[in-house]
Structure 1
Amino acid sequence: MPQYEGIWPVAPTPFHDDGRIDEEGMRRVLDCMVDQGVDGICILANFSEQFLITDAERETLTRLSLEHVAGRVPVIVTISHFATPIVVDRARRAKDQGADIVMMMPPYHGALMRGTAEQTFEQFRAVGEVGIPIMVQDAPLSGVDLTVPLLVRMAREIEMVKLFKIECAQAAAKLRTLIAEGGAAIEGPWDGEEAITLLADLDAGATGAMTSAMIPDQIKPVLTHWKAGDRAAATAAYARVLPAVNHENRQCGFRSAKAVMKEGGVIGSEFCRHPIAPLHPATRAMLMDLVRPLDPVALRWGK
């Protein structure tokens, strides 16, 4: 396994206009991402619309993605679920199919059913026994407060807990404290949330980023320059992409990558399943106005 660094975007899940999974489109999405020079790919995450996908479709997409990527880059499979036996089974299946890492949020279901700190630790420990590296996703969607002491305990006591995708409020401050208190046990401190806080998170010690698949080839130079110690170049590269990243993060969400890939001929439809509404035409138009000057691979890959 290479060092846990670089840019590992989330693959969107393409659908046909009638709502069926577009399997050939999924293969094209993965090829387009590899062609952008990504360091890894994550599937079945929230930005893959995992909450709109059936269990049978999960199985199809996992197998299709791992077989099609075929080791060209490492693949992370998201396995989050409230029930620990289901999470463990998903981890086992992902490992058996060739996944490199699994990503999971703490156990939650809706606004009121949330695992305690101990229950969260127990669920991650159970998955750790499967024997595949784990990324902890610390995102506000779960409503679970993953404190730094809990994360450090997980890193030290669960061998397979390797990576931490921090995308809560004040992510940089949490990353800095996590690295300071966890030391060498924090093998992969990562930025998330579409890179909206990437520069601050890199300054806090983040080594990797999980963005969307909209413009990872344009965001990667920020990490490359930062790793080389060129803060000025990293800052300039970040300033260049920030308007598009901000529009994605605050206005579009996971619909942005599909819109850009549809515009670039990667996929045939940017359909999202109900109750997700399509992008407002004006919001979509502004997205394209912000992305086109960057000339990302996804906007011309299929043309």
Structure 2
Amino acid sequence: MSLINRSSRGVYAIVPTPFHPDGRPDLDSLRRLVDFYSAVGVDGLTVLGQMGEAAKLTQDESVEIVWAVLDRTDLPVVVGVSSPGFGTMRTLTDQVMTRGAAGVMIAPPSTLRTDDQIVGYYAQAAQALGPEVPIVVQDYPLTFSVVMSVPVLRRIACEVPSVVMLKHEDWPGLEKISALRAAEENGEMPRLSILCGNGGLFLDFEMARGADGAMTGYCFPELLVDVVRLAGEERHDLFDAHLPLIRYEQQPGVGLAVRKHVLHRRGLLASDAQRRPGRTLTRTERDEVDLLLERLGRRDTRTRL
């Protein structure tokens, strides 16, 4: 399996972790999901992210889930390995990279406050994991409370060679993409692959600003694939049709429940259960999602359930 690099592009779908109603990981649904993502044309997968409920898994469960995905696909697989300590991070990284993962994703701990601390953290993480392990920096200040400015990201790109990709989830963040690409053009930093998150909420304009693709979820990944590969009016028209459902799914605290509900309705998950603590949709919320699905189906027939 190939490793990610500074030129990687396309759609890396964030894979939600399926659970049985009693909280056990559902590996059959996971394998079905992996087959589905491959069939709709994604370029890679990301597991053990926030939407994968990684923090609720034991170390053994995390490894079991990664093994199941790697054994099921030849797509490049990025594994979230964020951890309070580098020892745990290194152990999981060694396990998944030996098995064939394409790289690892690391979110910054919320204790980082200064630019030097942020750069130093990723330099230390790269040293702990080894120079041969490609790293994705997750830039998601709305969740992690760590603000990575353009100068900080420039420094990381220059000082930490194994950082090859930015998972861009700043919001608003369009100007950040433009600034990073301008810095590359001016020779101020080496190129970084930029894949965008936030459920695809701004993906149409992010692509126009110079992003390489998406690393995110959304219950219809077919749309993400289309938005990355299309251009101009065709891209915007298709994106606009999905935007109400994308917006609804992106609500903090309820987004994963929406995504799992739709994937369950699509026949991909046996259950829409989250591992506790978690939540399910209320009856009213389900009715609202179903209304959005019905309306979307009039404009994109692939979404008719």
Normalising by structure 1, we get a TM-score of 0.88
| AA aligned opposite 2:25 | I
RMSD of the TM alignment (CA)? 2.0
Cα separation, 2, equivalents of 1:291 and 1:74: 31
| AA aligned opposite 2:133 | I
Deviations 1:272-293 (A, max 9, x none): 1222111122212222332351
Contact 2:70 2:77 (8 Å CA) reproduced = yes
Q: Does residue 1:57 correspond to 2:61, yes or no?
A: yes
Aligned residue for 1:114? 112
Cα separation, 1, equivalents of 2:104 and 2:30: 19
Q: Does residue 1:215 correspond to 2:220, yes or no?
A: yes
Name the CA shift for 1:121/1:104 in 2 (closer, same or farther; >3 Å): closer
Deviations 1:199-238 (A, max 9, x none): 2211221011112151110232111112xxxx11111121
Cα separation, 2, equivalents of 1:45 and 1:256: 17
Contact 1:218 1:296 (8 Å CA) reproduced = no
Q: Does residue 1:274 correspond to 2:264, yes or no?
A: no
Q: Does residue 1:146 correspond to 2:148, yes or no?
A: yes
Deviations 1:110-134 (A, max 9, x none): xxx3362244233343256251221
Contact 2:17 2:53 (8 Å CA) reproduced = yes
Cα separation, 2, equivalents of 1:123 and 1:295: 49
Q: Residues 173-252 of structure 1 correspond to what in structure 2 (within 5 A)? A: 173-183=175-185, 185-226=190-231, 231-250=232-251, 252=254
Contact 2:70 2:99 (8 Å CA) reproduced = yes
Aligned partner of 2:93 among 91, 94, 101:
91
Secondary structure, aligned partner of 2:23: coil
Normalising by structure 2, we get a TM-score of 0.88
Secondary structure, aligned partner of 2:13: coil
Unaligned stretches of 5+ residues in structure 1? none
Aligned residue for 1:39? 43
Cα separation, 2, equivalents of 1:150 and 1:182: 14
Cα separation, 2, equivalents of 1:12 and 1:203: 28
| AA aligned opposite 2:229 | T
Aligned partner of 1:258 among 257, 260, 280:
260
Name the CA shift for 1:296/1:136 in 2 (closer, same or farther; >3 Å): farther
Name the CA shift for 1:196/1:248 in 2 (closer, same or farther; >3 Å): same
Secondary structure, aligned partner of 1:41: strand
Secondary structure, aligned partner of 2:29: helix
Contact 1:155 1:182 (8 Å CA) reproduced = no
Aligned partner of 2:10 among 6, 11, 17:
6
Cα separation, 2, equivalents of 1:290 and 1:66: 34
Q: Which runs of 4+ in 1 moved over 6 A?
A: none
Secondary structure, aligned partner of 2:164: strand
Cα separation, 2, equivalents of 1:287 and 1:130: 45
Name the CA shift for 1:91/1:135 in 2 (closer, same or farther; >3 Å): same
Contact 2:76 2:102 (8 Å CA) reproduced = yes
Secondary structure, aligned partner of 1:250: coil
Contact 1:100 1:133 (8 Å CA) reproduced = yes
Unaligned stretches of 5+ residues in structure 2? none
Q: How many residues align?
A: 289
Name the CA shift for 1:33/1:213 in 2 (closer, same or farther; >3 Å): farther
Cα separation, 1, equivalents of 2:125 and 2:183: 20
Contact 2:112 2:118 (8 Å CA) reproduced = no
| AA aligned opposite 2:15 | A
Q: Residues 66-81 of structure 1 correspond to what in structure 2 (within 5 A)? A: 66-69=70-73, 71=74, 73-81=75-83
| AA aligned opposite 1:185 | P
Instruction: Single out whichever of 253-262 and 236-245 deviates more from structure 2.
Output: 253-262
